[in-house]
Amino acid sequence: MTNPQTVLDRAVAQNDVPFVVAMAANADGVTFSGAAGDASDGKAANEETLFRIFSMTKAVGSLGAMILIDRGKLGIDTPIGDIIPAWDDLQVLDGFDADGKPVLRAAKTRGTIRHLATHTSGLEYEIWNTEMPKFLEATGHPTTLTGLKASLGYPLMFDPGTRWGYGVGTDWLGQVIEAVDGRPVEQFTKEEILDPLGMTSTVFEPDGMTDRLATLSIRGEDGNFSSMEFGPPAKPEFYGMGHALYSTAPDYLRFLRMILNDGALEGTRILSPDAMKLMREDQMQGLCFETMHTVAPHLSASVDPFPGMRHTHSFAFVRNEEDIPGRRKAGSLSWAGVLNTHYWADPASDVAGVIMTQSLPFVEEPFLKTYAAFEEAVYASK
C-alpha cells in the first residue's frame, strides 16, 4: 500500500508538480497532513502555505447564498432580475455579423439563483468558450479579473436553464448576497462563514501574509516549470465570489468537514441539516455537467473529470453520480481552482481531501496522476 506522503514526495521528484500540500479528514478531524517541495525560494511547503484558490472560492460564495435561503431571505428559484434589475439587461450572444460585431438577442428564459449556483445561467468564461474571446476583443469589454464592476456584464452564451456552461455566475451570486443582506460580500463572508469556522488564514487580501504566499509556476514546452505572476485583482471594485479568496489547506479542510458534518463544525452551526441536504443534492433539474473544452491550452487542459461517468452539479459543487473504484463514492462533491488547488468531500465514506499546488496548465496530466494516486492512498489507508 502506497503511503500518501510517498505520493507527494514522488510527484515533486518526478517534476509532476512544483510543490504540493495535501490533507485528508473525516467529520471528526484531520487524518493525514503532508507536503513536499518548496512553495517559494527556500521555503518548504507546509500547512501555513498560502494559496490563490480561485474557483475554490465558489463553494464559499454558494454557501453564503444558501445561508440566506436557510434564513428565508432568498429562494432557490427567485429570478435574479427581481433582486438585481441589471441582470435582465443581459442578452444572449447569437454570433457575429459580417463586420465582426456581436449579434445579441433577448433571453427566452429568466435566470434564477439556482441557475447561477449550478452554472446553467448562460454565463461562460472566455477560457472555455470560443465565442467569448471574440466578444471581448470586438467590444473591449473588461474581463472578470480586472476587478471592475462593469466586468459582470458578460453576455449570455445560451438561454438560462438550458445547459451547463462554466462562468462568472458565482460572482453574480455574491452581488445577490450583498443586495439581500446589505453587508459587503467580503464582510458577510468573514462574519457568517470564515470566522465561525475558524478559517483564520482565508482572506480576500493577503496583506501581512505575503511571506507565506506560494510562488506560481507554469510548465514550458521543455517540460520544466518557471515562475510567473498571476492572481486575483488587488483591492477591486467588487470581490468576485468566483475567484477572490486566498486560503490554506487546513482552512479549506475545515470548510469541507462542515460539509461532512451536515452544516456544523465543532459545535458551531452554519447551516441547518435540511439546507445542507439542499446544498449537496443535484440541483440541475435533469441537466448534467458537460466537458469544458479549452480554448487556451497553455492555461488549462479540457476539463472532464472521470470521463464517461455522469456528473451533475449541486448548489455548490460538481457531483459524481457513480462510484469511482478505489476512490470517492457516488454523491461526492468536488471542484478546484485554476492554479491546481483541488478538493473533494465524500459524505458516504466520511472522507474529505485537498491537494494543492500553484501551477499551470490547470488539470494537466501529471497533476491529475498525482491527484489520483493521493486519493487512492487516502482511501487505502482508511
Dist CA 334 CA 6 (whole Å):
23
Q: What is the mean pLDDT of residues 294-311?
A: 96
Dist CA 321 CA 312 (whole Å):
7
State the first-to-last Cα distance of the chain, in angstroms, to the nearest integer: 11
On the question of pLDDT at 2 being above 90, the answer is no
On the question of pLDDT at 1 being above 80, the answer is no
When the pLDDT of each residue in the chain is averaged and rounded to a whole number, the result is 97
On the question of pLDDT at 382 being above 90, the answer is no
Catalytic residue among 40, 58, 62, 314: 58
pLDDT for 78-136, tens place per residue?
A: 999 999 999 999 999 999 999 999 999 999 999 999 999 999 999 999 999 999 999 99
CA–chain centroid gap for 24, Å, is: 18
CA–chain centroid gap for 97, Å, is: 35
Task: Clarify whether 149 is annotated catalytic.
Answer: no
Catalytic residue among 40, 121, 125, 166: 166
Backbone angles phi, psi at 12, to 5 degrees: -70, -45
CA of 38: how far to CAs of 41, 99, 279, in Å?
A: 7, 51, 36
Q: Would you state the cell numbers that stand for residue 189, as one nine-digit string?
A: 463572508
Q: What is the mean pLDDT of residues 327-350?
A: 98
Dist CA 227 CA 215 (whole Å):
7
Catalytic residue among 40, 55, 217, 334: 55
